Amino acid sequence: MDGKKTYQEIGELDSYLLGQGTHYDIYQKLGAHLGEKDGEEGVFFATWAPRAKRVSVVGEFNGWDEHAAVMTPDTGAGIHSVFVPGAKEGQLYKFCLQTPTGELLYKADPYANYAELRPGTASRIFDLDKIKWSDSAWLKKRQRFQCTKDPVSIYEMHLGSWRRHPGREDEGFYNYREFAESIAQYVTEMGYTHVELMGIAEHPFDGSWGYQVTGYFAPTSRYGTPEDFAWMVNYLHKQGIGVILDWVPAHFPKDAHGLANFDGTPTYEYADPKMGEHPDWGTKIFDFGRSEVQNFLIANALFWIENFHVDGLRVDAVASILYLDYGKEDGQWVANKYGGNKNLEAVGFFKHLNSVVLGRNQGAMMIAEESTAWPKVTAPAEDDGLGFSLKWNMGWMHDFTEYMKLDPYFRKEHHHQMTFAMSYAYSENYILVLSHDEVVHMKGSMINKMPGLGFDKYANLKVGYAFMFGHSGKKLLFMGQEFAQLREWSEERELDWFLLQEPEHQALQAWVKELLHLYKEYPALYELDNDPAGFEWVNADDGYRSIYSFMRKSKSGKKSLLFVCNFTPIAREDYRVGVPSGKDYTLVLNSDAKKYGGEGTRRKKVYPAKKGECDGLPYSIGYKLPPFGVAVFEF
């Protein structure tokens, strides 16, 4: 035990703080922790089970005997604890709880840091203190990071289906360490700033993609140990890549070994089924009115960011938490004390959560996947906001995908769908997202949403991606869509990397790579995302030709960019676009280049402006705009 932290047994202060919902480091006390007592080495076990008649810990160290290690209850707070001499790291265990009716339940440890590989359901003793970190330079730099003013381009991914080892008898998963080396190389080359990992907290069913969690404090054992997971985060940080995890405080599954009816009664969930169950999802809803449950979730968020150095959490299904009637029919939900449909306890939870997490961790991000028009999601709590750093822009995503699916002939009648998002762009701190949700459940891949055949499909997607990267807001793209994955995504297989043998897929990947590097190179594309001074339409009303032109401006006024995007297959040989000054405009991105699948027509590099009103501006430049053409000029 040399060099290890001495475990401090549960005390009155622990019970008090848990009851107040402010024991932010409770995971250092509850769960399983190696230590020493009366000169003997072993493990301290503790769990919260307020209505259990009796709790014992059973495991490989005592032959799974329910009488061998009966836990001592703290009657005030409902914490049960015991020291088991001789228990060792790596051994499996569960809590055996006797319910108020005398039934015995065998539960995994809610605070365990490691779990048995599914289909096993036991927890495994693990010593987090042995993890070594060498990412201090990254963490120091992170303290200066401002997500609203710095570049954020996220590669959303599912670790188990990004790549797999072919021909192996097991599932062929990359472990965390193999994955780290492969993804770091790919993400660096492509130009993303962050990876966002789906489904890392332990979960029993692969098909849930990690959104039905049973082990909130345990990185899934599918890909290795907690030490392997930490190695991955450490490695990615040393390569300059941020790590965001999906985090699921909205609901949890009913699996017998999980949180549901933990002590034989509703413990982590609301007792009233109208409050405590999602009828659509068949899952339980956390009881946000209970301080110990809020404490569990807030401590969990802090655990990932402070213990595992994660840079941000994307909070799943926020709307389902905020609205009492989410996914429910009349008679299936209970109104709040004012008769409304807002979960006032959940509102308080989010304000508390974000204030603590962001207050303690300068530069970390809390990102809301919130699909409604709930106000002030990213406003600070003191301004009656929820306090998130960023919010997924689901409205933009919906309008964008619906427009892109249209035959170009009909786009002129829907021109406003691509301009509407700018009318509310400054109401929140937004991320533009094309996430996994858009390429599952028979929605088709991004490339197969595009109209037309062959070249037209790829050209459509190219102009769509260019519009996305020019638009105000941070960026997120789900894996595979950067090279035009043809099939819908499935967690059961790796991405179709073989497609990159085909020139059209290579060309699209090269185009996305160019957009990503352009995004990071030009502050005009990110530093004024939340300031009207950073974006200006040149022509938002050219519906007849389905062409959009706009400017992105930097704080200094230097290296501003002019985007021109043609959403039809018709070439505009004599296209003129208005510009603000009589200077030269330098072509920095041209979709017609051969490497992006274009015709490769030779083009001038510099375009001098001519005096004369155009698009309401005093000067203009002329450019031969090809079918589905994109041109980006620096000025």
- pTM for the model: 0.95
What is the third-level CATH fold of 393-417+430-470+494-635? Immunoglobulin-like (2.60.40)
| 547 contacts 539 by C-beta, under 8 angstroms | yes
**Mean pLDDT within 164-184:** 91
CA gap 145, 279 in Å, rounded: 41
CA gap 339, 437 in Å, rounded: 33
Q: Which CATH class is domain 12-130?
A: mainly beta
**Mean pLDDT within 544-567:** 96
| Percent of all residues in the chain with a pLDDT value above 90, rounded to a whole number | 93
CA gap 443, 347 in Å, rounded: 32
Three-state SS string over 252-279 comes to ECCCCCCCCCCCCCCCCECCCHHHHEEC
**Mean pLDDT within 355-362:** 98
Q: What is the pLDDT of residues 298-326, one digit of tens each?
A: 999 999 999 999 999 999 999 999 999 99
Q: What is the pLDDT of residues 49-106, one digit of tens each?
A: 999 999 999 999 999 999 999 999 986 889 999 999 999 999 999 999 999 999 999 9
pLDDT at 4 over 60: no
CA gap 542, 547 in Å, rounded: 6
pLDDT bracket for residue 5 (50, 70, 90) = low
pLDDT bracket for residue 1 (50, 70, 90) = very low
| 367 contacts 388 by C-beta, under 8 angstroms | yes
Q: What is the mean pLDDT of the chain?
A: 95
For 389, which DSSP code?
A: S
What is the third-level CATH fold of 149-391? TIM Barrel (3.20.20)
| Residue 167 confidence (pLDDT) | 78
Selected catalytic residue, list 316, 399, 514, 592: 316
Neighbours of 167 (CB within 10 A): 6
CA gap 625, 564 in Å, rounded: 9
| Percent of all residues in the chain with a pLDDT value above 70, rounded to a whole number | 99
| Residue 120 confidence (pLDDT) | 97
Contacts of residue 53, Cβ cutoff 8 Å, sequence gap at least 6 = 98, 99, 100, 102
Neighbours of 610 (CB within 10 A): 13
Selected catalytic residue, list 116, 246, 311, 369: 369
For 527, which DSSP code?
A: T
Q: What is the pLDDT of residues 373-392, one digit of tens each?
A: 999 999 999 999 999 999 99
Tell me, yes or no, if the two domains 12-130 and 393-417+430-470+494-635 fold the same way: yes
369 is catalytic: yes
**Mean pLDDT within 115-138:** 97
Q: What is the pLDDT of residues 218-277, one digit of tens each?
A: 999 999 999 999 999 999 999 999 999 999 999 999 999 999 999 999 999 999 999 999
Q: What is the pLDDT of residues 479-528, one digit of tens each?
A: 999 999 999 999 999 999 999 999 999 999 999 999 999 999 999 999 99
Domain boundaries, the chain: 12-130, 149-391, 393-417+430-470+494-635
| Residue 564 confidence (pLDDT) | 98
pLDDT at 567 over 50: yes
